[in-house]
Amino acid sequence: MSNLSNIDDRHSRFELRTLLETSRLLIESQDPDFVLNNLLLITMGKLLVSKGMILIYKPGEDTYLVSRSKGRGWHKEESEINANVSIGQQETGVLIGEKHSELFEELGIEKESVLFNLKTSNYHIGFLCLGPKGNKQAVTERELEFIESLTIISSVAIANSRMFAEMRLINRRLDRKVHDLNTLLQLSKDFNLMVDRDEIARVFKFAMLGQMLIRTFFFALDVNGKKSIVSISGVKEVPSEEELDYLFELEDITHTSKESTCEFLSENNIQLVIGLRFQNEKIGVVGVGARANKQEYTESDVNFLQSLGNLALLTIQKTLLLEERLEKQRLDEELNLATTIQRGLLPDPLPSIEGFDLAAINVSSRQVGGDYFDFIQTPDGGHLLAIADVTGKGVPASLLMANLQSMLHALAPIDVSLGEASGSINNIIHDNTPADKFITFFWGKISEDGSRFKYVNAGHNPPMLFRDGAEKPILLEQGGVILGAMPTLMPYEANEIEFKKGDLIVFFTDGVTEAMNPQQTEEYEEERLIECVLKNRDKSSQEIMDAVIVDINKFADNIQYDDITMIVLRVN
């Protein structure tokens, strides 16, 4: 009797050592495959069974994956079994076939088999399924306790290994994100130093090839409605205008296929098209083909590609803005130079003409304008006075104004009548300017003794002659058609007036009478001009002109839409 007791003690100590060594081995392992393999082999060896399986539960699907399978007649590994396992069965440590025959039948195992629950305190992992013992004997209580203990230890080891595997996966993802962020940070530094779009395209290409292992890609950009390819690699032919329009109409993240309706995408096996936005407007598109390592594009890959594309896009936008800024600076410099030149063409200071009080002003609505006035002394001692308004504004108008000025200065020394000279000027302008460019023009000559004024009006706002005692001014209208509208078919008619002491002539362009109120519903018009001049009739020419300018600014609330030019001439 004592011998049997000693044998049982030795057997118990052996099982305890086996449990301790096995638990240490399994718990220290971070490989779930190792844990499952050892669990199956140890338990099959312990019971001397020829068939064994490990079933892993798939939550939410009520199915079990055959993770490990030994022996003939049972399910193959990686197959799935549909089984209706109750919550109570998932929580029971050991399931015997006699009590759970329906479950055993669903699993396709003999009722002499035994199911050991793989579970932790929180959730059900699956089952260890052991077939009948080779000697046909029933499993003893001691054997059940041993294997149940082993399954508890193994369940903890499986849970730990799964946790470690998940942590490794998370760490790999974090490492990848850190790597991607470092790459984007470095590329951002590189892009910020670039002002050449070709260099930007080259760095973008190297990033695609080196970082993402993408050999086939394209990068398209929409600049002010014009779509073009910025960088491209591995593509048979660049997309047509219609295909580019189609690419920009796709969703921001579009996974394509060979069945795509776009021939460009299918021919080049473009798998992914990513839209790039700036201030919520899609102005860029990146398309990529298969990766060299054959891996599918993950969400992280898509985010990296989108970030890389946005970096390149913002850098290109920066270069475009820089170019616009430099171009604006160049234009500003040219306009400043043109303004200086144009101001130099106007008489400054005004000439002093004996017997006359003279004032003049030119206020451009832009840096350069198309209004013009001039005073030119003739060889006989007289003085030419001119005022003109070129259609349009800005540089084109100022160039035409400069041509008119040069013609007047060329004609001044020549003994030719105002009417004949007006016809010649008209023909030159008509023959050398577009049909939509013309000039309203008025000029006249003060005689050498200052007693007479002969003039020609070529379609200009008639100057107003104010005489003492008169309630209304006399309009100086005699002349002909505006300059440049048509060839000189009829000669320009000149008219001459005799100056009287106190006569006041106000010359002006349409920027004066067509000044608008802030609501743009009413013009200043001739009536207000006449009223303002009459109120200030007894003042000097400069004071009268200043009063008119103040009145216009008050009417228009200091908003100027057109050039303003005035000459005020008083006979002393």
- Residue-wise pLDDT tens digits, 498-546: 999 999 999 999 999 999 999 999 999 999 999 999 999 999 999 999 9
Does 318 have pLDDT greater than 80? yes
337, part of any domain = no
Tell me, yes or no, whether 222 and 127 share the same domain: no
255 Cβ contact partners less than 8 Å away, ≥ 6 residues apart: 271, 272, 297
> Is the model's pLDDT at 101 over the cut of 60?
yes
- What whole-number distance in Å separates Cα of residue 62 and Cα of residue 65? 10
Is residue 173 one of the residues assigned to a domain?
no
Q: Looking at residue 66, what is its pLDDT?
A: 93
CA distance 111 to 532: 119
| Same-domain check for residues 107 and 226 | no
Which residue did the predictor score with more confidence, 462 or 336? 462
Question: Same domain, yes or no, for 407 and 504?
Answer: yes
**How far is residue 389's CA from residue 508's CA, in Å, rounded to a whole number?**
9
159 in any annotated domain = yes
Mean pLDDT within 108-121: 90
Region 397-420: mean pLDDT is: 85
CA–CA separation, 308 and 301 (whole Å): 10
- Residue 326 falls inside a structural domain: no
Give the closest residue to 403 by CA, choosing from 414, 390, 413. 390
Which domain CATH number covers 286?
3.30.450.40
Residues 158 and 71 in one domain: yes
Domain assignment present for 557 = yes
Rounded to whole angstroms, how far apart are CA atoms 469 and 467? 6
Range name among 11-25, 74-88, 458-472 with the lowest pLDDT average: 11-25
Same domain, 428 and 545: yes
Of the residues 165, 183, 210, the one at which a domain ends: 165
pLDDT classification of 4: cutoffs 50, 70, 90 = very low
Spatial distance between the Cα atoms of 214 and 203, rounded to a whole number of angstroms:
14
The average pLDDT across 107-113 equals 89
Alpha-carbon distance of 430 to 90, in angstroms, equals 102
* Gyration radius of the chain's alpha carbons: 49
What single letter denotes the amino acid at residue 478?
Answer: Q
* Whether residue 481 is found in the same domain as residue 515: yes
Q: How confident is the model at residue 555 (pLDDT cuts 50, 70, 90)?
A: very high
Instruction: Quote the CA–CA distance of 425 and 407 in Å, as a whole number.
Output: 7
Q: Based on the domain organization, do 292 and 249 belong to the same domain?
A: yes
Name the CA dihedral angle for 409, 410, 414, 419, rounded to a multiple of 10 degrees: -80
Q: In total, how many domains does the chain have?
A: 3
Which has the higher per-residue pLDDT, 361 or 316?
361
Q: Are strands 226-233 and 114-119 parallel, antiparallel or unpaired?
A: unpaired
Choose the final residue of a domain: 110, 144, 165: 165
Statement: residue 297 has pLDDT above 90: no
Q: Which two tokens stand for residue 403?
A: 């041509």
Residue 59 lies inside a defined structural domain of this protein? yes
Question: Can you give the pLDDT at residue 391?
Answer: 82
Portion of the chain with pLDDT greater than 70, in percent: 89
What does each C-alpha distance from 332 to 47, 124, 179, 401 come to in angstroms? 96, 77, 46, 20
Out of 147, 165, 183, a domain closes at 165
Whole-number mean pLDDT of the chain?
85
Stretch 306-313: mean pLDDT, rounded? Answer: 84
Strand (E) or helix (H) holding 442? strand 439-446
Q: How high is the pLDDT of residue 6?
A: 47
| Per-residue pLDDT, 120 | 86
Largest CA distance in the chain: 161
Highest mean pLDDT among 4-13, 250-259, 498-507: 498-507
Question: CATH code at 477?
Answer: 3.60.40.10
Name which of 22-36, 128-142, 290-304, 393-407 the model is least confident about: 22-36
Domain encompassing residue 235? 194-321
CB 198 within 8 A of CB 228: no
Residues 307, 216 share a domain: yes
* Mean pLDDT in residue range 366-379: 83
Dump pLDDT digits (tens) for 160-186: 877 777 777 767 766 666 666 676 677
Pair 251, 127 in one domain: no
Give the pLDDT mean for 417-425: 93
Phi, psi of 54 (to 5 degrees): -120, 120
Residue 66 included in any domain:
yes
Residues 355 and 490 in one domain: yes
Above pLDDT 90, what percent of the chain?
Answer: 34
What pLDDT does 1 receive? Answer: 45
User: Is 178 inside a domain boundary?
Assistant: no
Residue at 441: amino acid letter: F
379 and 272 fall within a common domain: no
Quote the pLDDT of residue 424: 92
Q: Is the pLDDT of residue 496 over 90?
A: yes
**Predicted confidence band of residue 7 (pLDDT cuts 50, 70, 90):** very low
Is residue 258 over pLDDT 60?
A: no
Helix axes 197-211, 299-345, angle to 10 degrees: 180
Give me 568's structure tokens.
Answer: 């005020």
Q: Using 50, 70 and 90 to split pLDDT, how confident is the model at 21?
A: low
- Closest C-alpha to 70, from 54, 58, 83, 82: 54
Q: Which of 15-29, 56-70, 362-376, 388-402 has the lowest mean pLDDT?
A: 15-29
- Inform me whether the pLDDT recorded for 15 exceeds 60: no
Backbone φ and ψ of 360, nearest 5°: -155, 155
Is the domain of 371 the same as that of 464? yes
pLDDT of residue 9: 52
Considering only residues 143 and 355, tell me which one the structure prediction assigns the higher pLDDT: 355
pLDDT at res. 554: 94
- Confidence (pLDDT) at 29: 66
Q: What DSSP string describes 340-409?
A: HHHHHHS-SSPP--TTEEEEEEEE-SSSS-SEEEEEEE-TTS-EEEEEEEESS-HHHHHHHHHHHHHHHH
